Amino acid sequence: MLIHVGYDIGLEFASPTPLLLLLDIHTARRRDVIFEDELNAPDIVVERGLDLYGNRAKRLIAPAGPLKLSYRAVVRDTGLVDDAPLDAREVPVADLPNYAMHFLGGSRYCETDELAPIAWQLFGHIKPGYGRVKAICDFVQNQIHFDYQAARATRSAFAAYNERTGVCRDFTHLAITFCRCLNIPACYVNGYLGDIGVPPDPAPMDFSAWFEAYIDHRWVTFDARHNVPRAGRIVIARGRDAADVAMITSFGQHKLTQFNIVAQEVAPKRAEALVSRAA
């Protein structure tokens, strides 16, 4: 399967402003990229590197005035839906590797201290393992009403639990927090997720958020927002929560003037045309 992904993001600045961008396809998927085209102003110097979580980061200084960030890529994908290892077991805390321990505690949007009593009351009786994490996803999907108009950058997991509304990042934060309360490491993931193998969503395409739980000594994908195995996930960044994987961090004021995301399966002939056009 070939997936065409990309974005057109318009920003406007009153003065030169430093930016930190996490918009590149993750290092783990670089070998699957068969074509990519990035259109940015040629006179802007871009510094590239990896952040603490292995995400591909870019630093630049945006000039005063309008700035358009555009990107297109074709990515090879297996077309397989998310793995569902029903017999996967939880790993005791004493046996967790050090890197997984980092995803056990509270973080900016995941208040484990507030939600721990609730987590144990709701899920403490469920057999540890894949089934417990799936039960968390079931609960979160029923607890939160998806409403794009209700998006709020400051909403935390505890707030989402009480307000019962939000977007994919809120579903993900709440599920992650419940997992950590139950001693299951969980990390926040964002990336592309097109309507592949499912009915098309009439809403404009956006970046998506899901999570990975560390069970049976590996990271397993879960999605509390959609709560069904999906195909075609392309990771951009991983972190403890949305604060670690902000796609655009502006060290100054800016205005968003355009936001267009592409994530769709593409026929081989169409992919060839994209590659030829960029050559």
Count Cβ atoms within 10 A of the Cβ of residue 74 and give its class: 0-12 exposed, 13-18 middle, 19 or more buried: buried
Measure the CA–CA gap between 204 and 6, rounded to whole angstroms. 14
Residue 86 falls within a domain, yes or no? no
Beta-bridge partners for 125: none
Residue 135 falls within a domain, yes or no? yes
Q: Report the CATH number at residue 235.
A: 3.10.620.30
- Asked if 63 and 197 sit in the same domain, the reply is no
- Asked if 216 and 267 sit in the same domain, the reply is no
- Phi/psi region, residue 138 (left: phi>0; alpha: psi -120 to 50; beta: rest), is alpha
Q: Please give the span between the terminal C-alpha atoms of the chain, in angstroms, as a whole number.
A: 22
- Asked if 57 and 113 sit in the same domain, the reply is no
Helix (H) or strand (E) holding 253: none
- Look at residue 268 in the predicted model and tell me its pLDDT: 79
Count Cβ atoms within 10 A of the Cβ of residue 153 and give its class: 0-12 exposed, 13-18 middle, 19 or more buried: exposed
CA dist list (Å): 72 to 36, 119, 147, 198: 6, 41, 28, 23
Render each residue's pLDDT in the chain as its tens digit; 279 residues. 999 999 999 999 999 999 999 999 999 999 999 989 887 666 889 999 999 999 999 999 999 999 999 999 999 999 999 999 999 999 999 999 999 999 999 999 999 999 999 999 999 999 999 999 999 999 999 999 999 888 899 999 999 999 999 999 999 999 999 999 999 999 999 999 999 999 988 888 899 999 999 999 999 999 999 999 999 999 999 999 999 999 999 999 999 999 999 999 998 777 767 766 555
- Asked if 254 and 216 sit in the same domain, the reply is no
Q: Pairing relation of β-strands 208-215 and 56-62? A: unpaired
- Asked if 229 and 103 sit in the same domain, the reply is yes
Are 214 and 96 within 8 A, CB to CB? yes
State pTM to two decimals: 0.94
- Asked if 147 and 55 sit in the same domain, the reply is no
- Asked if 149 and 36 sit in the same domain, the reply is no
What is the count of structural domains for the chain? 2
Measure the CA–CA gap between 254 and 62, rounded to whole angstroms. 10
Report which of 181, 208, 206, 184 is spatially closest to residue 82, judged by C-alpha positions: 208
Residue 185 falls within a domain, yes or no? yes
Residue 85 falls within a domain, yes or no? no
- Asked if 252 and 228 sit in the same domain, the reply is no
DSSP string across 13-26: ESS-EEEEE--SPP
Backbone angles phi, psi at 176, to 5 degrees: -60, -45
Which structural domain, as residue segments, surrounds residue 60?
2-79+246-278
Residue 59 falls within a domain, yes or no? yes
- Asked if 122 and 61 sit in the same domain, the reply is no
Largest CA distance in the chain: 59
- Asked if 185 and 200 sit in the same domain, the reply is yes
- Look at residue 270 in the predicted model and tell me its pLDDT: 75
- Look at residue 262 in the predicted model and tell me its pLDDT: 95
- Look at residue 203 in the predicted model and tell me its pLDDT: 83
Are 159 and 244 within 8 A, CB to CB? no
* 77 C-beta neighbours (distance < 10 Å), count: 16
- Asked if 6 and 111 sit in the same domain, the reply is no
Residue 84 falls within a domain, yes or no? no
Residue 48 falls within a domain, yes or no? yes
Residue 53 falls within a domain, yes or no? yes
- Asked if 156 and 233 sit in the same domain, the reply is yes
- Look at residue 278 in the predicted model and tell me its pLDDT: 54
- Look at residue 70 in the predicted model and tell me its pLDDT: 93
Measure the CA–CA gap between 51 and 26, rounded to whole angstroms. 11
Are 210 and 189 within 8 A, CB to CB? yes
Q: Report the CATH number at residue 67.
A: 2.60.40.2250
